[in-house]
Amino acid sequence: IKVNFLPAELSREVDLAVVVDVLRATSTIVTALHAGASRVVPVETVEEAFAMKQREPWVLLAGESGGHMIPGFDLGNSPLDFKEKLVRGREIVMKTTNGTSAALHSKGARKIVAASFLNLARVIEEIKKESGSVVIQCAGSGGAFSMEDVLLAGAAASAFEDRLLDDASRAAVFLFRSAKLPLDQFLIDNCDHAKKLFSIGYFEDVVFCAKINMYDLLPVWRENGFVRG
Ligand code: MLT
């Protein structure tokens, strides 16, 4: 099991890519599918999202820029906005700052899943089933290290024997084991993006994204987006 702390383009040599953007894209993808969305399609640009809506007017556009909802979109990137009555049966086209491109850059891998604390147990189960190579791909922030993503990578990697880990995954395990619980408080105290979300009024999102094993659900990539695995 390898952990990429920074964004990378994954190739066919990777059997399983585990994409992580704890705050908030992958937490939101898990929540959207749990609320009944049929598919979450990540896109690179806002223009691409609007073009999809023009072709397929039934889709919902979701995402953020600077943490806030994008004008003209139907939803932001707050997992708490993805209520069943809004998203059940709907396809969601999503554009976020880092998380959606981390997913798209993982497309070379044989299988791609989305991971968050909300579905940690399912992620570990999926890695256990994989006999080939596994990369936990952290989305980071603007090309830089994001501690909350590495914490999640460590939480997942800590379920495996040392001989299966590389130095980066061991470092992630050390970090996770040294984090003081409760996790939401740890994120607010130590992670830049949690502090930013807190400062712009999304404190509840940080608390929610720090919940462990809320959902028994694994988003799996099929064709152009994540569906319930
Ligand atoms: C991202 O993709 O960078 C994040 O999901 C941003 C956020 O909505 O907090």
Q: What ipTM was predicted for this assembly?
A: 0.95
Q: Which atom of ligand 1 is nearest to the CA of 76?
A: 8
Extended beta strands in 71-211, E state: 91-95, 111-115, 134-138
Q: Which domain range does residue 111 map to?
A: 2-228
CA 191 – ligand 1 centroid, Å: 13
Please give the order of strands across the beta sheet that includes 60-65. Answer: 2-4, 134-138, 16-20, 111-115, 219-222, 225-228, 39-42, 91-95, 60-65, 68-69
Say which CATH number the domain at 191 has: 3.90.1560.10
CA 162 – ligand 1 centroid, Å: 31
Count of structural domains within the chain: 1
Q: Which atom of ligand 1 is nearest to the CA of 96?
A: 2
- Average pLDDT per 10 consecutive residues for the chain, totaling 229 residues: 95 95 98 98 98 98 97 98 98 98 96 98 98 97 95 98 97 96 96 97 98 98 97
> Is 97 a pocket residue for ligand 1 (Cβ < 6 Å)?
yes
